[in-house]
Amino acid sequence: MGPSIKRSAGHANTRSCEAAPLTPQACYVQQVIVQADTAYRMQLTDLLKVSVKHKTGGMVSLSSFITPSWVQAPQQLNRYQGYPAIRVTGSAAPGQSSGSAMAEMDRLASELPQGFRAEWAGSSLQERESASQLPALIMLSILVVFMVLAALYESWSIPFAVILVVPLGLAGAVCAIMVADMSNDVFFRVGMITIIGLSTKNAILIIEFARQLRLQGMDIVAATLQAARQRLRPILMTSLAFTLGVVPLMLASGASDRTQHAIGTGVFGGMISGTLLAIFFVPVIFGLVMRMYKK
């Protein structure tokens, strides 16, 4: 319950003017906060005794032009971007990701009557905005890897052949997250960056040996096939060791288990696809790129 002040007929003016008489254009609206001692603000009648200046410069009490009444109203009014708002705070159910919870909230918000609008704020807004940054983040990471390889081999063809293998690992990571029904959060993006480096590592193991055989005079196809056979066991051993190493992250429980699941699941799926597909696609990609470069 709280007092509601209604204006009655009178000469009060809410504008503050520098001098009188002035035209309405010379006045401006000004917020005034009045403080009073305890004895002069305990009752509503005490507040009505407060005097304010009217447009002619004299003083008039509030009781001369306002009428108080008691109504029921909330003690606090929430506003967002200047509009009346209702704050809704929640969390995802056990076993559900924050992305699925936000999608459900968007669905419910679309069913609101006309005149209502829903917007995200706080950490949810940051998560929604960061989701659109993933393509740029991936492209920047690939560009850095490409420039490092170009400086290492002093060539554009070999780094180009290595970079073409990266989508094989990224596709596996995305499929793993979709199968596990997990969200595209910052921890999954950390796993995606890791997959970029591991995918290029497997490709370099084959392409480097094929390049050395090519310098010895072997044909492109023969050098690529021999390099793939020689490096098959090291690729499988190193990739299998790393893949099994992230299994505990996938099966983790307790505090921050969602963080570990996001990293472990994405890296696990990316390593599986990046290893199995790279064995077959890297020789083909390297052979095609070297033939195009030779022409």
Same domain, 120 and 137: no
Query: Quick one: 27 exposed, middle or buried, by C-beta within 10 A (0-12, 13-18, 19+)?
Result: middle
Q: Convert the pLDDT of each residue in 30-56 to its tens digit.
A: 777 888 888 888 888 888 888 888 888
Whether the Cβ atoms of residue 203 and residue 190 lie closer than 8 Å to each other = no
Rounded Cα–Cα distance for residues 95 and 252 (Å): 13
Q: Which of 68-82, 85-99, 132-146, 214-228 has the lowest mean pLDDT?
A: 85-99
Verify that 225 and 254 share a domain, yes or no.
yes
| pLDDT score of 176 | 85
Query: In one letter, which amino acid is 182?
Result: M
Same domain, 159 and 239: yes
Q: What is the pLDDT of residue 209?
A: 83
Identify residue 159 by its one-letter amino acid code.
P
Is the same domain home to 141 and 265?
Answer: yes
Residue 20 sits in a domain of what CATH number?
Answer: 3.30.2090
CATH number reported for the structural domain that contains residue 201 in this entry: 1.20.1640.10
Segment 173-216, tens digit of pLDDT: 888 888 877 766 777 778 888 888 888 888 888 888 888 888 88
| CA-wise closest residue to 12 among 68, 63, 49, 46 | 63
One domain, residues 120 and 151: no
Look at residue 179 in the predicted model and tell me its pLDDT: 83
Give the confidence band of 13 by pLDDT, cuts at 50, 70, 90: very low
Structural domain count of the chain:
3
Q: Residue 196: which domain range?
A: 133-294
Judged against a pLDDT cut of 50, whether residue 8 lies above it is answered with no
Phi, psi of 253 (to 5 degrees): -140, 160
Same domain, 213 and 287: yes
pLDDT reading at 20 higher than 60: no
Domain check: are 137 and 233 in the same one? yes
Q: What is the mean pLDDT of residues 79-93?
A: 82
* Average pLDDT score, the chain: 79
